Amino acid sequence: MNATKILYRKLRTTFREEFEPGTQRGRMKLVLKENAFAGDKIQKERIPSVYVRKQGIHNLYRYEHPEGYRSCYTCLNDGSGLVVVVLDLLTHKEYERVFGY
């Protein structure tokens, strides 16, 4: 099993309960299912090194939740199609720290 599938399986298990319909994260899931590119694309030179070094991310998107949280996600091709992988759920303060603002 390649690293992409392992990462996807791990994240899918971790976030399964948080993405129940009716929650803000559940709404994000529905939006991203409809349009994987609905979030704001982060410019390559602005992608924090933690995502590049630890997770090998080369495309990153930000999804803003109404309650002030932000999710970072990437889009991968697993061989059978496009897969959206949510990497984290951050408060505004955490997001600023990760991105160095």
The pTM of this model reads 0.74
Number of structural domains the chain divides into:
1
Residue of 84 and 1 predicted with greater confidence: 84
Give residue 20's pLDDT band: very low, low, confident or very high (50, 70, 90).
low
- Which among 60, 70, 99, 83 has a CA at the least distance from the CA of 7? 83
Nearest to 92 by CA among 63, 77, 70: 70
Q: Does the pLDDT at position 28 exceed 50?
A: yes
Among 35, 27, 101, 34, residue whose Cα is nearest residue 71: 27
Per-residue model confidence (pLDDT) at position 11? 52
10 is in which domain, residue-wise? 3-99
| Rounded average pLDDT over 78-96 | 85
| CA dist., res. 46 & res. 14, Å (int) | 27
Q: Give tens-digit pLDDT for 36-47.
A: 899 999 999 999
